[in-house]
Amino acid sequence: MAVKIPSGLLKKQEELKGVAKKLEESVRSKVSDIQKQFNRTKSSVESSYKESKKQVQNRVDKARSNLERQIKHAQKTKSALEAKAAKERKLAEKRIAELKKMVATKKRSKATRKSHFQSR
């Protein structure tokens, strides 16, 4: 026994199938658009991150280079100051030796004068 479906219901069913198909296409399109936007945003963020990372690395490298240059300069300055101090120390030691000689000579000459006057 066949059941007869009213033609109005069949039309409505076909209409609803068409609407459902259009809705499905619309949803797929929206999902695709959202996926594309997500991928563009992701790519942009990754690119910005890489660029920022490069900039930070460049700053670190530049700072390291500056510090190394300052350290070398400080070492050269230290060496120069040590050499100058050694030279001045030698000069001071030489001057002290000369002064000691002069004092010893004066003491001897005083002693000689005293003995000379005492012997008269």
C-alpha distances out from residue 66 to 55, 59, 73, 74, 113, Å: 16, 10, 10, 12, 69
Please give the helix or strand (H or E) that residue 82 lies within, else none: helix 7-118
**Cα separation of 21 and 19, whole Å?**
5
Query: What does the pLDDT profile of the chain (120 residues) look like in tens digits?
Result: 677 878 888 899 999 999 999 999 999 999 999 999 999 999 999 999 999 999 999 999 999 999 999 999 999 999 999 999 999 999 999 999 999 999 888 877 766 666 655 655
Residue labelled with tokens 């619309």? 26
